[in-house]
Amino acid sequence: MLARRVLAVVGVAALVAAIAAPASRAQLPTYRLGRTPTAEEIKAWDVTIPPDGKGLPPGSGTATQGESIYAARCASCHGERGQSPKYDPAATKRTILVGGRGTLNTDKPVLTVGSFWPYATTLWGYINRAQPVDEPGSLTPDQVYAVTAYLLHLNGIIGEHDVMDARTLPAVKMPNREGFVPDPRPDVRKSQAPRAR
């Protein structure tokens, strides 16, 4: 009985010591799941493009160039023209990319790139980092510019031959850019909140 209690105390002490010790990889439990990302993968994810386009890489693309890339890499989940997803009924709303203009003030708002997103540069950054969902980070900068241009064109925002690059993309005025209001919470920095003008 006493022995068991001593053992229990030793056990707790060991646990406390383990928690208090600085976490090192060797002490963390391993679940034999996943793997450490490669430096290249981290580089592909670690890109955030602000509204002014800072960090956009060299390269360019037009909607005409983006059409075939979209058909091959995006249409299976987002529908041929961005509005009729077939792949997952539960994800339908989140995968609509085109249309919805004028619905935000209604009972059934449809949030899309065209109706909701305030900055075209965010679209480039998001596609570059997260799409296609099944193979993120696999598009070249030129391909990302081209599918971005294609989605902007499908939404009636730019022409099919307009060249999107690090200079022209930040200049694209998204339809809902004025639709955001500043977040008044004191812990939100001004730079984080989209500004209404």
Binding letters toward ligand HEC, positions 145-164, x by CB under 6 A: --x-----------------
Nearest-angstrom CA–CA distance, 19 and 188:
33
Which position among 61, 63, 79, 112 is part of the footprint of ligand HEC (CB under 6 A)? Answer: 112
Task: Compute the least distance from the CB of residue 115 to ligand HEC, in Å.
Answer: 9
Task: Let me know the angle formed at the C-alpha of 181 by 176 and 187, rounded to the nearest 5 degrees.
Answer: 135
Residue span binding ligand HEC (CB under 6 A) among the ranges 21-29, 44-52, 108-116, 177-185:
108-116
Positive or negative: CA dihedral 157, 162, 165, 168: negative
Cα–Cα dist 143/100, whole Å = 25
Binding mask 68-107 toward ligand HEC (x if CB under 6 A, else -) reads: -----xx-xxx--------x---x--xx-x----------
- The answer to whether residue 131 forms part of the interface with ligand HEC (CB under 6 A) is yes
CB 171 → ligand HEC: shortest distance, Å? 20
Q: Which is nearer to ligand HEC, 128 or 166 (CB)?
A: 128
- What are the helix (H) ranges across 32-180? 39-45, 63-73, 75-78, 92-95, 120-130, 141-154
Alpha carbons within 13 angstroms on the beta-carbon side of residue 5 total 2
CB of residue 175 vs ligand HEC: minimum separation in angstroms?
14
